[in-house]
């Protein structure tokens, strides 16, 4: 064997680095520990994982720089200016900074509540090929929501650290007044771990935080319904998966695109897609399936997105069934996709995977600390000012003496000590008195300033009382959460559908379509009678004390929605009921549809296209208006849970194709006329509605019905322009001659 080579000694050569090129033996574990681990920790702590305020360091540097540039209230400035300023805090390239700012912008549509108000082409999150314009062409400023991030930052609410070259400082966290970490989506890949946080509705998050403050055992699912994505779509609600995500912080949510069929153009218009895909990915997959012959119903697919928003158009061949096609596309393309959740968040510098309850609890602890630091800052400022004014108050005893002391002092450095001796005040008070302008050495000025002492003492006592009471701190946090929810909250963008509504229906057998007359009785008997049989038949056979509550003319293919007293809807089709005669009792619906014990039908709605709106009036005076399409499913018959709100009994349930007037009558006898156009359209079936009629204590809404001009002689007395309204008590002449009220 050749002799073992001896290590060469380091020799300094002029113009060369000593030791360069020499290979030394080192254990792999030592190399990982000294070289790789610092890099891994830097990526985890300082780059990829968001912190409890909801931001990564790159986000925080951009927003704080924009705040220091005065972009919270001022006009927009060129994005290139912002990028240049951010580089003072972020030692990375301008392109990386700009791409991060683009994702925070309103124009990119990546966030549910954008932090940057943008102007120009910022690209689109739902498009892979639609790039943003260069930073020299676009403009930006902070969105109004950023007031909740920076209105306390100058009150010592968070710690500041030096930037990378020690020339300035930046905040370690932002004192957010709402749980922003759950409101906007945040994803990042670190070394050995990752984070993926789905967005939730701001109003629901704030309500959940308030509920957890009041009751730590609050059930999260009651207030935080499901994720809410900026691109909308349909969230498939599976209770087990949602509970898993809320409990452990891990799981997945399935989201499918939202579409509508254009009968005139024989095409499908897709307007909302899952957040985890792009329009290009969908088009490529559909084209691939068409080339493979797996989908034959499609003529063409194209992207028609414009300034009005996303639009993907699928042209169909003649005779193609859009419902069946979409069910296949859901299975075979990214039109239905899963959003994987991994709630990995940095808390005190350590990454932790937490459920929603734990995240909000940690945020509340962080927010509690911010509020206490703010109050202590305000308390300190008031105490400092009070201390100065108390010294000024002593000058009031003898202003002439103060002037004489200053005038007779030979050296300037002796002015403050002489004032301290002459009036028994400390150095800070004496310095304050010495700096008062000559024009202010009058009794009026000093009296006016010393009048603030009582106000300051009261403010100090109030702040000390809040700091000494945990409940008052919590009340302050609750108030701020409600203010944020009221000012910046918005309706859900993602509709919630349930697993029963997502199942693909089996190929239906062909059923004949012909005109029918439908009848429903008070006790739940259903009759479907053809026009010919109805003309030949005699009197309707009913049980004693029973009566017909619903009658309509429709087609055998019509869909039927049976609303029950347990806030559920049972769906069926007219074709599933046998034709009968007037002389027969008909089918007993509760038994046929398998209703629960004690469940009764309160309303039947018949539809063929799910057009128009469902209108519900409740006893508490609230009214809910939702698109009937929210009740559309692809199954022959399905029981829908949470079909409408159970907070108050329903007084009226109706289906309207266009807006019209309704007459509301309270138990007090007051009458109110409103137009359904005044009611905002909601996107969740079980929403509680908006207050339509103001009711006095102990009063309820007794009756709601479509209004006809013949009902009242002077309807203008009962109309209102804004909601809610209390209505008016009718007079005898208001009823007219044609109306008889029972």
Terminal-residue alpha carbon distance, the chain? 117
What size, in residues, is the chain? 742
Residue whose pair of structure tokens reads 């479907």 in the numeric block: 528
Compute the distance between CA of residue 31 and CA of residue 531 in angstroms, rounded to an integer: 89
Backbone angles phi, psi at 540, to 5 degrees: -65, 130
- Cis ω for the linkage preceding 421 (within 30 of 0): no
In the beta sheet, which residues pair with residue 269? 260, 313
The SS3 assignment for 268 reads strand
Compute the distance between CA of residue 513 and CA of residue 384 in angstroms, rounded to an integer: 85
Sheet holding 495-497, edge to edge: 186-189, 194-197, 336-342, 250-256, 234-236, 495-497
Closest CA to 581 of 625, 637, 532: 532
The SS3 assignment for 349 reads coil
Question: Does residue 137 carry a catalytic annotation?
Answer: yes
Neighbouring CB atoms inside 10 A of 49's CB total: 23
Six-digit token string for 686? 């079980």
- Helix (H) or strand (E) holding 44, with range, is none
- Alpha helices, H only, 396-451: 399-408, 415-423, 427-434, 443-450
Closest CA to 282 of 312, 324, 317: 312
- Helix (H) or strand (E) holding 548, with range, is strand 548-555
The residue from 36, 64, 67, 137 that is catalytic is 137
Six-digit token string for 489? 């909250």
The CA distances from residue 195 to 48, 54, 191, 662, in Å, are 8, 12, 11, 51
- Alpha helices, H only, 442-568: 443-450, 452-467, 470-488, 531-536
Compute the distance between CA of residue 43 and CA of residue 223 in angstroms, rounded to an integer: 35
**Contact status, residue 97 vs residue 85, Cβ threshold 8 Å:** no
**Contact status, residue 741 vs residue 713, Cβ threshold 8 Å:** no
Catalytic positions, written as ranges? 137
């Amino acid at each position: 064997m050749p002799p073992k080579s001896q290590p060469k000694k380091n020799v300094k050569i002029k113009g060369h680095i000593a030791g360069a090129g020499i290979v030394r033996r080192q254990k792999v574990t030592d190399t990982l520990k000294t070289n790789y681990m610092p890099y891994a920790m830097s990526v985890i702590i300082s780059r990829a994982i968001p912190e409890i305020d909801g931001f990564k360091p790159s986000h925080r540097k951009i927003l704080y720089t924009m705040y220091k540039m005065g972009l919270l209230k001022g006009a927009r400035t060129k994005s290139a200016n912002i990028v240049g300023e951010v580089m003072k805090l972020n030692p990375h390239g301008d392109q990386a900074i700009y791409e991060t700012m683009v994702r925070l912008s309103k124009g990119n549509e990546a966030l549910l509540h954008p932090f940057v108000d943008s102007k120009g082409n910022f690209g689109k999150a739902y498009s892979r090929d639609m790039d943003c314009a260069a930073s020299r062409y676009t403009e930006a400023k902070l969105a109004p929501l950023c007031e909740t991030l920076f209105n306390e930052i100058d009150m010592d609410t968070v710690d500041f650290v030096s930037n990378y070259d020690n020339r300035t400082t930046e905040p370690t966290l932002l004192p957010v007044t709402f749980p922003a970490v759950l409101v906007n989506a945040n994803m990042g890949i670190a070394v050995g771990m990752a984070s993926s946080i789905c967005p939730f509705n701001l109003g629901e998050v704030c309500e959940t935080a308030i509920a957890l403050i009041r009751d730590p055992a609050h059930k999260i699912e009651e207030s935080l319904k499901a994720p809410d994505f900026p691109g909308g779509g349909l969230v498939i609600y599976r209770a087990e998966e949602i509970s898993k995500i809320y409990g452990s912080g891990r799981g997945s949510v399935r989201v499918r695109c939202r579409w509508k069929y254009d009968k005139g153009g024989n095409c499908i218009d897709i307007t909302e897609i899952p957040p985890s895909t792009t329009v290009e990915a969908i088009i490529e997959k559909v084209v691939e399936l068409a080339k493979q012959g797996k989908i034959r119903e499609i003529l063409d697919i194209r992207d028609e997105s414009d300034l009005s928003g996303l639009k993907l158009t699928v042209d169909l061949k003649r005779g193609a069934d859009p419902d069946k096609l979409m069910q296949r596309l859901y299975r075979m393309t990214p039109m239905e996709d899963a959003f994987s959740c991994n709630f990995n968040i940095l808390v005190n510098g350590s990454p932790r995977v937490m459920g929603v309850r734990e995240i909000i609890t940690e945020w509340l602890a962080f927010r509690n600390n911010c509020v206490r630091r703010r109050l202590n800052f305000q308390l300190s400022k008031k105490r400092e000012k009070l201390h100065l004014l108390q010294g000024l108050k002593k000058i009031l005893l003898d202003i002439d003496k103060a002037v004489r002391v200053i005038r007779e002092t030979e050296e300037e450095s002796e002015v403050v000590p002489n004032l301290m001796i002459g009036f028994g005040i400390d150095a800070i008070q004496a310095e304050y008195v010495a700096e008062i302008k000559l024009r202010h050495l009058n009794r009026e000025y000093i009296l006016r300033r010393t009048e603030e002492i009582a106000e300051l003492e009261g403010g100090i006592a109030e702040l000390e009382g809040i700091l000494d009471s945990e409940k008052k701190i919590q009340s302050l946090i609750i108030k701020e959460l409600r203010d944020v929810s009221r000012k910046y909250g918005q309706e859900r963008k993602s509709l919630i559908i349930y697993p029963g509504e997502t199942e693909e229906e089996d190929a239906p057998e062909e059923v004949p379509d012909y005109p029918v007359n439908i009848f429903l009785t008070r006790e739940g008997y259903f009759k479907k009678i053809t026009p010919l049989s109805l003309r030949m038949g005699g009197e309707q056979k009913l049980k004693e004390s029973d009566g017909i509550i619903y009658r309509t003319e429709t087609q055998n293919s019509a869909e039927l929605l049976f609303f029950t007293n347990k806030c559920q809807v049972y769906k069926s089709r007219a074709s599933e009921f046998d034709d009968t005669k007037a002389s027969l009792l008909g089918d007993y619906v509760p038994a046929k549809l398998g209703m629960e014990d004690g469940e009764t039908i309160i309303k039947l709605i018949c539809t063929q296209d799910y057009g128009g709106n469902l209108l519900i009036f409740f006893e508490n005076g609230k009214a809910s208006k939702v698109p009937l399409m929210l009740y559309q499913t692809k199954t022959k018959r399905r029981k829908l849970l949470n079909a409408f709100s159970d907070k108050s009994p329903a007084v009226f349930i109706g289906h309207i194709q266009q807006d019209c007037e309704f007459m509301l009558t309270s138990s007090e006898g007051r009458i109110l006329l409103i137009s359904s156009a005044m009611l905002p359209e909601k996107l969740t079936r079980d929403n509680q509605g908006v207050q339509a009629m103001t009711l006095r204590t102990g009063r309820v809404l007794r009756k709601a019905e479509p209004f006809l001009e013949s009902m009242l002689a002077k309807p203008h007395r009962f109309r209102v322009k804004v909601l809610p309204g209390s209505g008016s008590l009718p007079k005898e002449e208001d009823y007219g001659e044609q109306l008889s009220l029972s």
